[in-house]
Structure 1
Amino acid sequence: MSTLQDDGVQSVRRAATQPEGTSAADAPHPLPDELLHELRVHQVELERQNAALRNAQLSLEEARDRYVDLFEFAPVGYLTLTRQGTIDEINLTATKLLGAERKQVLGRRFAHFVLPEDRDRWHVYLADVARHSDSRDCELHLLRRGKTRFHGRVDGIGVTSNAGEVAVRITLTDISEQKRMEALNESELRLRMAMQAMSGGIYDWDRRTGSLYWSSDLPQVCGIASGDFRPDRRWWRQHVHPEDLRRIRPAIVSALRTRTNQFQVEYRVRHEDGHWGYVADRGHLVRDAAGRVVRLVGAVTDVTARKHAEAALLRLNDMLEEKVVERTAEVEARSQALAEAERFARATIDSLSSSLCVLDEHGGIIATNRTWREWTIDAGDCEARSGGCPDCLAMPFRMPCWSPETTSGVHHAIQDLLAGKRQTFSLEYECRTPATSRWFEMHVTRFPGDGPVRLVVTHDEISERKRAAEDQKRTAERIKQLGLHLETLREQQSAMIARELHDELGATLTMLKLGLAIAAEEVASSEPLRTKLAGLLEQADAALRVVKRVSSSLRPATLDTLGLIATIRWYVTQFSRNTGIATVLRLPEYVRLSQLGNTAVFRIIQEGLTNVAKHSGASKVTINVRKHDGALIVKLVDNGSGIAESDLQRPDSFGLMGMRERAEHLGGTLSIGRRPDKGTQLMLRIPLDS
């Protein structure tokens, strides 16, 4: 610094000796004395200020060192944290408390040193301190070097810098010793309370002084008044049971010889009221350096209630042993009966012809019968072994002949059964080989009740039944086709007979009637002969009417000539005229069906009206025929008594069966039932293109 000052003085001198507007080389005149004197005065003042500045700097450095020493070696740890809990500053005491170097701590979150169970409380405390400017404290369990835990107290306050950033300054103190002292005080308090609550007394005999101390509870334990209690040898001979006296001395001698320094003995003491009480005496021998007994400390506890309870327990134990013997005999008898029942149940299950297994709640097989084991071995899924086939789970639920969809469906069904979503499941499947075709049926049933989940799986071969069912189905189909063929033949024969009656016999009768009429006109003179001819004409008319009625009954000619609608209208008119039952018709203008369809619809309406006339007792019938959605719908309703359910199920209801067969043959449906209000309703629905 002095060098800089000298350079400054020389510069000033040169500037002072240099005239304005000239350079230093051009200055011819020397520096005046007055100016030199003034410069020296300024130099002295500057040196004095520099000295004061150096002194202030030294004082500041000393104060900073003292502050650093106070900060670093303070008895508590000082830390500065960000609002998020990151450590920005820390003193040496805090690093020692945390057991880490300063560079390992700076930049880390203080929460890393807090035990996991206290981290939530630390985060709440940090947020609370950052929001408030007053001091707050918190006790936490911390980790030192990541291994040793200690109890610490944190005192923190939130501060705000000039830039508006919030920081938290905390002090950290190790209060583990304080917590241990508090725990010791609590333990001492609990011990004092336990001594007060203990139902006994203590004694302390000092051999060197001969003094004997006993607590105030000791006489009460021994059943003697406090003023009369003197535990000397005479008291022992008078109040301790003689049989127990002989046991006390060997116990003490054994403790002396074996140097266990402890003995425990129970004996009887006579109380003032004359009854005997039981006490437990637990003593401890204190020896000196030479091994001699110098003190005897012990405690006497009243165990009368325990002894009585033990005696009662012994009596109860004897009774229980007798009961156990009886129960054991009963259990053995029941075990034999249970074993016999289990053997019988196993033999019964093994004798079943159905293959049976039981699944547990995980879908594993826990039991099988003999048929199941033989069946799985025959199926090639398992090897024959003496222990059965407990691991044959793959075979019944993943048969080789199953499709992936069937396997998935069975798997989902079993999962639903285990979950309780359904109670049963059945499946029929076919296994084909180049030589044979076999059918099987599987049933899965869930055990009822609240016990463990169990499923019973049965497998049966139903090849014979399926073949019989197929044969029966084919036979029924052939019979049905035969019936339809016979019905067709009957219709054809009826049509042929009707035509023969109408054409041949009708024409013959007509010619006969004309001949009779001509003959009657020619024989005008003979009255008897005219009368006979008139009778013959009436008989010819009657015969013509019979021919017309019979031919119409066999097959109405209008069905083939005028169509279905005209035939229904003609037949219903005849029905009303013959039975007196009023009819209401709602018919479309035309219906175009096949010849078989026209015949079937007419015959169903004819059979329905016949049943109304015979059984219903109705006075009105409504027939509604309409076309809807590609189908012909015929609805026949009467106001009669209504058909009974039993009549619908009668096996001899051939008329109803015939109507259903006609409807099904045309690909339609027929329903007959009782109306809710009154009467019977017949509903026929057949496709228009049938």
Structure 2
Amino acid sequence: MAEGEKMRIDPAAMSKSELVDQLNQLQANAKTDLEQSEAQLLHELQVHQIELEMQNLELREAQQRLEEARDRYADLYDFAPIGYLTLEGAGRILEINLTGAAMLGDERANLIGKPFSARLARKDSQLFFLYLNRVFHSVGGSNIVTEVKIKRGDAVVDVHLESAPMKSTAGQDRTCRMVMTDISEQKRAKGTLKQTLLAQEALLNTIPAKVFFKDKDLRYTAVSQGCQEFFGRQVADILGKTNFDLIPRKQAEGLQRMELSVLLSGVPERNIEHMVTDSKGNQLFFTISLAPYFGPDGKTAGLVGVSVDVTPIREAEHLSQDLLRQNRLLTQRLFSLQESERRHLARELHDELGQWLTAIQAEAGAICSNSGAEREPEICAIAQAIGNSATEVQSVIRRILRRLRPALLDELGLTDSLQELAIQWRQHHPKIVCDMELDGNLGDLSEALNITLYRIVQEALTNIANHAQAHHVKVWLRRVPDVASDPEHLLLTVQDDGKGMYSNLPLKGLGMLGMRERVIASGGEFMSQSAPGKGVCIEIRLPLVAPMEERRKT
């Protein structure tokens, strides 16, 4: 093959990189010999051809990039999430993307050349033309915005319009570009939020409790009418403030500790009692319930609190406690008067009636001795009958005296008196086994405590004999020493195996009520447990020093 034929190449069949390599090779191999003009000319032609092919490739690549950019723009224009429109001066649609056509509820071809106002709700047509006039007369081509309602079938959709005029040359019609955004969901959300806020405001203005919302800095963001009345300020003067701005510092510190605990832990707290001073200087008691509320990110955004004024309840409780104390004092006084009357009656029976009965017995014996059983047997028999009756009456009086005032209680103390009471009770109720256990030192108790314990045991045994149908009774009295914070006290247990009763029923018998009142009046605790067929167990706890006596000492 000739040398000229070796130099012949086909640029159309080569790639850009191959052309560049070939060009470089040709330039490197170019001969500078002027005598080889034909070869030089051929070389230059080949170089020029390669350069033209390179330019052609670059043009094709640029055209391809342009087409891709155009396709991307068309896709962005037509399928953007908002509507794009071009309007002429009278408001007719010149251009509109597919999203805008879908928002107007029609095909794009049916919208071109049609007035945009035809798609608006009737009351917004005039508003739109005023808006369009503002757009074309805007200074500096700034964007002008408005909101209108468009008709889409039977529905009405809220849209946001943002427009700017386009530059036009002399003789061209005025045009503007407009962006249309569907804000129906935003409108509904705003409406729902507004209703919620109105409902919250109505609730805050009518609820009797003091309700408040605070941010993470513990500043008030919303308060109820009750809070306004408590602080003696208008809402605007409360919002943005903390408790330190509104109440005494010491009280604010206590509230802040509670609020920070809930805010940091995220755990609600309920019915925390706290004392607060109101705007008039009154010290009031409140129960406060606190709970965190959360923001859209799920993190704690602040606190909501409900505060209820329980001052009237506390005052009622104090009044009730005062009345209860007075009632106990009255009950103690009544029992004291009762014991005093019993003592007086026992003394009268023993001193007065006892003497008369002794005299009757003596007179009856004298009559029988003087008349003689043989001489006047009838008179003697009558005298003996009178004497026997007097003796029986004395026996009855002694039993009454034991119930009215046991002599051993004054002479020998509680232990012997209770044991004697058990002996007498067994004699009268031989079919019931009665066990009595007395533990600890019971010899140094006060007279009032001795009488209370004796009367309770006496009444309990009487109830068992009359109502329990029991076969076995146990009485256990013990003195319990100090244990930790539990002071020394007395425990009395009376238990039987009788027919029992329903323990949830209210006490009706005077015996049980009397025992309970005696215990309560002495500052003690009265408990009873029972069930049908399982007997009754009475447990009584009495302090060694009655509350009233303790207060007198202090």
Establish whether TM, by shorter chain, passes 0.5: yes
Structure 1 residue identity aligned to 2:220: I
Asked if 1:595 is matched to 2:450, the reply is no
Summarize the Cα distance change of 1:573–1:437 in structure 2 as closer, same or farther, 3 Å threshold: farther
Structure 1 residue identity aligned to 2:221: I
Summarize the Cα distance change of 1:493–1:426 in structure 2 as closer, same or farther, 3 Å threshold: same
Structure 1 position 596, deviation (Å) = 0.5
Residue 682 of structure 1: aligned partner: 538
User: In structure 2, which of residues 403, 415, 418 is the aligned counterpart of residue 553 of structure 1?
Assistant: 403
Residue 361 of structure 2: aligned partner: 513
Q: Contact between 1:443 and 1:459, CA under 8 Å: does it hold in 2? A: yes
Question: Partners in 1 of 2:200 and 2:360 — Cα distance?
Answer: 91
Structure 1 position 554, deviation (Å) = 2.0
Residue 156 of structure 1: aligned partner: none
Structure 1 position 355, deviation (Å) = 2.6
Alignment of 1:317-466 (within 5 A): 336=191, 339-377=194-232, 384=234, 387-395=236-244, 399-400=247-248, 403=250, 409-418=254-263, 419-421=265-267, 423-429=269-275, 431=277, 438-446=283-291, 453=300, 454-466=302-314
Residue 551 of structure 2: aligned partner: none
Q: TM-score, normalised by structure 2?
A: 0.59
Summarize the Cα distance change of 1:499–1:321 in structure 2 as closer, same or farther, 3 Å threshold: farther
Structure 2 residue identity aligned to 1:584: D
Structure 1 residue identity aligned to 2:270: T
Question: Partners in 1 of 2:311 and 2:477 — Cα distance?
Answer: 47
What secondary structure is seen at the aligned counterpart in 2 of 1:645? coil
Aligned-residue sequence identity (percent) comes to: 21
Q: Contact between 1:287 and 1:295, CA under 8 Å: does it hold in 2? A: no
What secondary structure is seen at the aligned counterpart in 2 of 1:587? strand
Question: Partners in 2 of 1:399 and 1:287 — Cα distance?
Answer: 92
Question: Partners in 2 of 1:471 and 1:413 — Cα distance?
Answer: 30
Q: Contact between 2:475 and 2:493, CA under 8 Å: does it hold in 1? A: yes
Q: Contact between 2:272 and 2:289, CA under 8 Å: does it hold in 1? A: yes
Question: Partners in 1 of 2:414 and 2:57 — Cα distance?
Answer: 136
Structure 1 position 685, deviation (Å) = 3.5
Q: Which of 1 and 2 has greater Rg? A: 1
Summarize the Cα distance change of 1:617–1:338 in structure 2 as closer, same or farther, 3 Å threshold: farther
Structure 1 position 482, deviation (Å) = 1.4
Question: Partners in 1 of 2:252 and 2:529 — Cα distance?
Answer: 43
Question: Partners in 1 of 2:79 and 2:310 — Cα distance?
Answer: 70
Asked if 1:581 is matched to 2:432, the reply is yes
Summarize the Cα distance change of 1:488–1:372 in structure 2 as closer, same or farther, 3 Å threshold: same
Summarize the Cα distance change of 1:583–1:318 in structure 2 as closer, same or farther, 3 Å threshold: farther
Alignment of 1:54-133 (within 5 A): none
Which one has more relative contact order, counting CA pairs under 8 Å at least 6 apart?
A: 2
Summarize the Cα distance change of 1:389–1:576 in structure 2 as closer, same or farther, 3 Å threshold: same
Summarize the Cα distance change of 1:315–1:594 in structure 2 as closer, same or farther, 3 Å threshold: same
Structure 1 position 673, deviation (Å) = 2.8
CA offsets 1:195-221 (integer angstroms, 9 cap, x no match): xxxxxxxxxxxxxx9947799xxxxxx
What secondary structure is seen at the aligned counterpart in 2 of 1:646? coil
Q: Contact between 2:501 and 2:533, CA under 8 Å: does it hold in 1? A: no
Summarize the Cα distance change of 1:461–1:586 in structure 2 as closer, same or farther, 3 Å threshold: closer
Q: Contact between 1:416 and 1:422, CA under 8 Å: does it hold in 2? A: no
Summarize the Cα distance change of 1:442–1:517 in structure 2 as closer, same or farther, 3 Å threshold: same
Q: Contact between 1:288 and 1:294, CA under 8 Å: does it hold in 2? A: no
Q: Contact between 2:343 and 2:404, CA under 8 Å: does it hold in 1? A: yes
User: In structure 1, which of residues 604, 629, 651 is the aligned counterpart of residue 456 of structure 2?
Assistant: 604
User: In structure 2, which of residues 350, 363, 386 is the aligned counterpart of residue 536 of structure 1?
Assistant: 386
Structure 1 position 567, deviation (Å) = 1.3
Instruction: State the superposition RMSD in angstroms.
Output: 4.7
Question: Partners in 1 of 2:195 and 2:401 — Cα distance?
Answer: 81
Question: Partners in 1 of 2:532 and 2:256 — Cα distance?
Answer: 46
Summarize the Cα distance change of 1:353–1:287 in structure 2 as closer, same or farther, 3 Å threshold: farther
Residue 339 of structure 2: aligned partner: 491
Residue 34 of structure 1: aligned partner: none
Alignment of 1:240-319 (within 5 A): 296-298=59-61
Residue 619 of structure 1: aligned partner: 471
Question: Partners in 1 of 2:287 and 2:258 — Cα distance?
Answer: 12
CA offsets 1:285-310 (integer angstroms, 9 cap, x no match): x9979xx979743387999x999999
Q: Contact between 2:329 and 2:521, CA under 8 Å: does it hold in 1? A: no
Summarize the Cα distance change of 1:571–1:458 in structure 2 as closer, same or farther, 3 Å threshold: same
Question: Partners in 2 of 1:312 and 1:429 — Cα distance?
Answer: 64
Question: Partners in 2 of 1:407 and 1:309 — Cα distance?
Answer: 59
Question: Partners in 2 of 1:655 and 1:360 — Cα distance?
Answer: 62
Structure 1 position 318, deviation (Å) = 6.9
What secondary structure is seen at the aligned counterpart in 2 of 1:390? coil
Question: Partners in 2 of 1:601 and 1:358 — Cα distance?
Answer: 58
Structure 1 position 475, deviation (Å) = 2.7
Question: Please, which runs of 5 or more residues in structure 1 have no aligned partner?
Answer: 1-208, 216-285, 379-383
Q: Contact between 2:259 and 2:290, CA under 8 Å: does it hold in 1? A: no
Question: Partners in 2 of 1:590 and 1:464 — Cα distance?
Answer: 45
Summarize the Cα distance change of 1:592–1:508 in structure 2 as closer, same or farther, 3 Å threshold: same
Structure 2 residue identity aligned to 1:564: L
Residue 498 of structure 2: aligned partner: 640
Q: Contact between 2:293 and 2:304, CA under 8 Å: does it hold in 1? A: no
Q: TM-score, normalised by structure 1?
A: 0.48
Residue 243 of structure 1: aligned partner: none
Question: Partners in 1 of 2:186 and 2:57 — Cα distance?
Answer: 61
Summarize the Cα distance change of 1:599–1:441 in structure 2 as closer, same or farther, 3 Å threshold: same
Question: Partners in 2 of 1:470 and 1:655 — Cα distance?
Answer: 30
Summarize the Cα distance change of 1:490–1:318 in structure 2 as closer, same or farther, 3 Å threshold: farther
Structure 1 position 520, deviation (Å) = 2.5
Question: Please, which runs of 5 or more residues in structure 2 have no aligned partner?
Answer: 1-9, 17-48, 81-96, 106-151, 158-181, 482-487, 547-554
CA offsets 1:381-434 (integer angstroms, 9 cap, x no match): xxx5x73521232249x842x75xx6555433323322145522422426599x
Summarize the Cα distance change of 1:545–1:357 in structure 2 as closer, same or farther, 3 Å threshold: same
What secondary structure is seen at the aligned counterpart in 1 of 2:504? helix
Total equivalences in the alignment = 398
CA offsets 1:461-487 (integer angstroms, 9 cap, x no match): 555544444333323322221121111
Residue 91 of structure 2: aligned partner: none
CA offsets 1:594-627 (integer angstroms, 9 cap, x no match): 1111001111212322333344432111122233
